Amino acid sequence: MINVRDDIFGHLDRIHKLDQEARKDKPVNSWYASSFDTCLCGRYLHRIGTKRDSEFTPRLLTVFDVGKKEEKWLIDTYKEIIEHEPGKYQLEEQVRIDNKKYNVHGFIDLIITEKDGTKTALEIKSKHSRSFWYLTRQGAQLGHKLQLWWYLQETGIEKGLIVYLSKDDREILQFEVLRNDKELKKQALNEVKILNYCLKYKIPPPPAEKGTWQEKNCGYHQQCKKLQKEQKILTQEQIKQIINNKLK
């Protein structure tokens, strides 16, 4: 008898392993904009080619795959809008962003240009309904805001929208991010300054604080803890000096 769960999970696991095999000899040459506000130590370990504590589970691979399909659905729907209303918008999909100075890489999901030339960058995320409705009270996740802010400062686009799709009940939320947001600029630049210093001098940054979601979701958590225990990480005083441009 057909086992749908085994078929789907097995297929996604095979695809992931083939992708990993294709990438195994390719160095990671940049920081991912999609990783802002996650564990600094984990990002450093990923950048230097360290293997994760454990592989992604088939269930988590399914979450990633469904997320990509949700994003595609929204973009395809905008294409249908243009078919019915020609000239209303111009669309640019998966716009590559590479910052050579700070070594940050990413892709803008969608840029929409209106008739008057106004551009809006969209970062599309999907959530289950409980997490989705929590955002209505708390606002967009900081990491998503930092990611989109980075794209805005790279392209010169003045504003963008983080668009959340609820996978359960098909609701949509959007939150505006502005290129002139000084707080987002400060945090984004501080993060990449710390990471680049650590990479240059081969000193891992400190891991995420205990009990935070950053710690829970770090794929290198056990290795991060070991480095912290052995005191082989950047000190808080060094971090302050890097942020204040006293260490380069």
User: pLDDT for 66-116, tens place per residue?
Assistant: 899 999 999 999 999 999 999 999 999 999 999 999 999 999 999 999 999
Q: What is the pTM of this model?
A: 0.91
On the question of pLDDT at 165 being above 80, the answer is: yes
Distances (CA, A) of 64 to 97, 110, 117, 127: 21, 18, 33, 11
Residues forming beta bridges with residue 173, ordered by sequence position: 164
Which of 235, 143, 150 is closest to 194 using CA atoms? Answer: 235
* CA trace torsion 85, 89, 93, 99 (10° rounding): 180
Q: What is the pLDDT of residue 36?
A: 98
**Which of 44, 50, 82, 52 lies closest to 204 in space, CA to CA?**
44
Per the document, the length of the chain is 248
Domains by residue range for the chain, with CATH: 76-179 (3.90.320.10)
pLDDT at 211: 93
Residue whose C-alpha is closest to residue 237's, from 247, 226, 248, 227 = 247
